[in-house]
Structure 1
Amino acid sequence: MKHVSILVPMGHTSMPNIDGSHQILAQVNSFLADMGKPPLFDLHLVGLTSPVVQRNGLFTIEPDTLIEDVKKTDLIIIPAMHGDIAEALENNKAFSPWIVEQYNNGAEIASLCIGAFFLASTGLLTGKQAATHWSLAGLFRQMYPEVNLVDDKIMTEDDGIYTSGGAYSYLNLIVYLVEKFAGRDIAILISKSFMIDIDRISQSPFIIFQGQKAHEDEPVKKAQEFIENNFAEKITVDQLADMLALGRRSLERRFKHATSNTVTEYIQRVKIEAAKKSFESSRKNINEVMYDVGYTDTKAFRTIFKKVTGLSPVEYRNKYNKGLAA
């Protein structure tokens, strides 16, 4: 039987992460019991204290175990910690040495959504792939440049460490863990019982590109603003460099450092974001939207759109604009 430690952090925590993980894994045990098989998961809510007050006293969670009483565990689940990130890390730092010790003793670790920030603070994500909520990808890269953040993925697996993308995509990671530990048949039962879309791997369709402005490089900000205000026109790196009185290589280096995108990638993402909004709210056809955002090559537009969103233009329009026929 696998000992599972679902952490109950101090402060404002995602209670759906805690309850949902516990409920799904407990249901695995129920399915196995119906089949005449022994339970697979020994589930525990593990805290620093008991009870743990959540959301300014609106809710209280009572861990059944404290970390000092857990000598050996097989899987640690870290839920999202909301509010001020620095404060959340400080309030829960007592978990860190225990998590590192358990991992070194063979435990696997799964962080859910922005729980990746806390997992990264332990140092265990250094040099590894990780996912987190797409809206905080820029901040994560600033805080943990040593982690290989893949902000388009719903989940990652790297050397016994798992991370999930934004919000309720944690369900996809939990189902993935069910499949790994209990098998495909049980995972399918879970996905049908809880109506979770099994095998979904990308959060790209949900990403809202807002640009990366949390930096102090003013010429780069001017370049970003120019791109965002003129995305329908043909914009070149040389044009931007001349406008800002910078060398091309200098602009490209500074732009990449400030935004984590090349200039060309940024132009593409701004164009595609405008196309997404048009598909969501207008009745324009694919070619009309393509021309509106500055593309003239249908194949190139479709290729870039799918690379950014994970869906073709037609698939995206049909998914998010129900007023239109497929």
Structure 2
Amino acid sequence: MNTVTILGYSQAYASAITGALDLFALAGVTCQRMQGLPPQQRFSVQLASVGGKDIECINQLTLKSHIAIEDVNTTDLLIIPTIGGKVENVLDNNRNLLPFIQHFYRAGADIASNCSGAFFLAEAGILNERTATTHWGYADLFSQRYPQVKLQPNQLITQDGNLYCSGGGMAWFDLALLLIERYCGHDVATDTAKAHVLDLSRGNQAAYAQLRSKKYHQDSEVLVVQEWLENHYYQVITLNKLAEQVSLTTRTLLRRFKIATEQTPFSYLQSIRVEAAKKLLETESHSLETITGLVGYEDLSSFTRLFKSVTGLSPSQYRKKFIR
């Protein structure tokens, strides 16, 4: 039986802790009971905290630890749940977790973070030059703090060696199912997913992300161009027209825009158009051809390819998933 240790701390998401506890503890149990078969528990699951102290979660729920992390001699898997409070404050108040994360990493345990829990792995220095993901809404902050990490914010799950990360707050069940499959095989993971009415694979989190405007730079001319694009994205736009807005040469605008936003003006424009299309698909009953025209494109097929490359879904799939 493999040991799973969930590392609890103040201001964590309660559901990312209790949900993972349930899913691992019931792997090999729930489905077997439903089928009248003897249960075969696959994991020994424990909730640990520094000093074995109670865990005050972000929703004011208090969880009791099973064990002090100091008393955990070995574990197959260490899970870091989601940060619920302000990331910077939670990291500062829980720096005593970092030596334990580093210790179990050096000991060869699998280390997994959910959502913003990846900040703890990065703070511990074990994500340097490694692939990782986190919640799409924290991607810019994460990249600023940890430029040496190969962040993939559109990915729902990443694996790099024995390091696993998952994206949005409820992605703990995607992460847990993947790890159940790693330890117990596809059949047990599938049975666990079916028993709990969960999708075994949800692809990526790009469809859930909102436009990150990337306006935290100090280039005033680029800011003017960004705002102009956001207000005129539906028009036919040329590089010359953009450069005219700020009296720059096209070459200078391209260079400064890329430095400020890490995108070209036209890739930024594409992001704006996709975001506008998402809102129309969520709220309006227009045909796909009409929506394509409203966001500045003439060809439905080319816009469909762009939309899918950004969100992971076709426009019709996105509408079906998110229409209000």
Same fold, TM exceeding 0.5? yes
SS of the residue 1:114 aligns to? helix
Structure 1, residues 12-39: CA drift from partner, whole Å, max 9, x if none?
A: 1111000000000000152598655753
- How far off is 1:63 after superposition? 1.0
Alignment of 1:134-149 (within 5 A): 134-149=136-151
- How far off is 1:107 after superposition? 0.6
Unaligned runs of at least 5 residues, structure 1:
none
Unaligned runs of at least 5 residues, structure 2:
none
Structure 1, residues 251-274: CA drift from partner, whole Å, max 9, x if none?
A: 334333433333221100100111
Q: Which residue of 2 aligns with 1:204?
A: 206
CA-atom RMSD, angstroms?
A: 2.0
Q: Which residue of 2 aligns with 1:215?
A: 217
Higher mean alpha-carbon deviation, 235-244 vs 264-273, is at 235-244
Q: Which residue of 2 aligns with 1:63?
A: 65
Partner Cα separation in structure 2 for residue 95 and residue 257 of structure 1? 36
SS of the residue 1:138 aligns to? helix
Q: Which residue of 2 aligns with 1:153?
A: 155
Partner Cα separation in structure 2 for residue 229 and residue 177 of structure 1? 45
Change (3 A) 1:249 1:166: farther
Q: Which residue of 2 aligns with 1:13?
A: 12
Q: Indicate conservation of the 8 Å contact 1:32/1:38, yes or no.
A: no
Task: Give the aligned residue type for 2:54.
Answer: P
Q: TM-score, normalised by structure 2?
A: 0.92
Q: Which residue of 2 aligns with 1:54?
A: 57
- How far off is 1:196 after superposition? 1.3
- How far off is 1:99 after superposition? 0.9
Q: Indicate conservation of the 8 Å contact 1:5/1:43, yes or no.
A: yes
Higher mean alpha-carbon deviation, 34-43 vs 202-211, is at 34-43
Higher mean alpha-carbon deviation, 241-250 vs 152-161, is at 241-250
Change (3 A) 1:253 1:167: farther
Alignment of 1:150-299 (within 5 A): 150-299=152-301
SS of the residue 1:94 aligns to? helix
Higher mean alpha-carbon deviation, 252-261 vs 126-135, is at 252-261
- How far off is 1:244 after superposition? 2.2
Partner Cα separation in structure 1 for residue 104 and residue 266 of structure 2? 44
Alignment of 1:30-109 (within 5 A): 30-31=29-30, 39-49=41-51, 50-55=53-58, 58-109=60-111
Is it true that 1:26 corresponds to 2:25 in the alignment? yes
Give the share of equivalent positions with the same residue, in percent: 36
- How far off is 1:249 after superposition? 4.3
- How far off is 1:319 after superposition? 2.4
Q: Indicate conservation of the 8 Å contact 1:133/1:166, yes or no.
A: yes
Partner Cα separation in structure 2 for residue 164 and residue 91 of structure 1? 23
Partner Cα separation in structure 1 for residue 259 and residue 151 of structure 2? 15
- How far off is 1:130 after superposition? 1.1
Q: TM-score, normalised by structure 1?
A: 0.92
Q: Indicate conservation of the 8 Å contact 1:32/1:39, yes or no.
A: no
Partner Cα separation in structure 2 for residue 321 and residue 84 of structure 1? 31
State the aligned residue count. 320
Q: Indicate conservation of the 8 Å contact 1:33/1:39, yes or no.
A: no
Change (3 A) 1:190 1:304: same
